[in-house]
Amino acid sequence: MGNIFTESQEQRDIELAEFCKVPVGTVKNYPIGTQASVQLFKNEDIALQSYDFIYKNYKYVERVNWLRTCSALTITRRSKYILELVTKIGKLEQQHVLDYGCGVGSHGIFCAELGATVDFLDVDGPLFDYAKWRIAKRNLKVGKYLYPESKLTAAHYDAILCLDVLEHVADPAGTLSNIACALKTNGYLLLEVSTIVKPTSGHFSQSIERWKKHGAVVLRNKFFRISKNLFYKK
């Protein structure tokens, strides 16, 4: 039986065309992974460095191109991390998972397809809209849809996915501490933080520097490392 990780690019393009109500040929004309495909704002706006401005306005996003790139790269670049987590946990039935900064939802969808109860958290906007649509299309029963202002206080998650998220937030170490609070003792954290500065796509130098300065301290204090990207909570 197939799952979202085994779908072809052709299948992803057909799905995106249906969501965006455009011909499949139009979707295929957009390149994957170019700078323009993930541009949230322009260089002349760099002085703003306002997360609220960027993630509430999406002023320069070309929606189809952005969604095509995100849908492809969440599979080709990160599915191996999710598979490592699944191998470590074993069966996902009765596991409660949080996909933190879920984007188009690919990782959480995969976990839901394997039987986990998954909550999805992201900022309101095109990526989250597409994630919700993809979940509904697959008739998946999921937990909750959450937003950054949601309070994560109770430690009730068995696993939390946080892949390429913390370089986009104003306080990456603080965000990770909040994530740790929501994770059960011995719960698993799947984490990747990019340290490549790409300001127009939201990889701010100030966020990356804050992560380099404080992130390792939080990881060391709150988690044991299993592998490069996989941790469990002390």
Phi, psi of 153, deg, nearest 5: -115, -45
Structure tokens at 122: 């992201």
Cα atoms found within 13 Å of the Cα of residue 179, Cβ hemisphere only: 34
Contacts of 45-49 with C-beta under 8 Å, sequence gap 24+, read 46/199, 46/200, 49/204, 49/206
Percent of the chain with pLDDT over 90: 71
Q: Which of 28, 11, 141, 166 is nearest to 75 (CA)?
A: 11
> What is the reported pTM?
0.94
Q: In what order do the strands lie in the sheet with 157-163?
A: 145-146, 117-121, 96-100, 157-163, 183-192, 230-233, 223-225
Mean pLDDT of 212-219: 94
Distance separating alpha carbons of residues 188 and 226, to the nearest angstrom: 9
Residue 172, pLDDT above cutoff 70: yes
Provide the β-strand partners of residue 144.
Answer: none
Q: In the predicted model, what is the mean pLDDT of the chain?
A: 91
Residue 130, pLDDT above cutoff 80: yes
Q: pLDDT (tens digit, 9 = 90+) per residue, 185-205?
A: 999 999 999 888 777 777 878
Phi, psi of 219, deg, nearest 5: -60, -45
Residue 51, pLDDT above cutoff 60: yes
Distance separating alpha carbons of residues 48 and 44, to the nearest angstrom: 9
All structural domains of the chain = 4-233 (3.40.50.150)
pLDDT band at 47 (very low <50, low <70, confident <90, very high): low
Residue 221, pLDDT above cutoff 90: yes
Cβ atoms of 229 and 190 within 8 Å: the answer is yes
Provide the β-strand partners of residue 203.
Answer: 198
Strands 117-121 and 157-163, bridge-based pairing: unpaired
pLDDT band at 55 (very low <50, low <70, confident <90, very high): confident
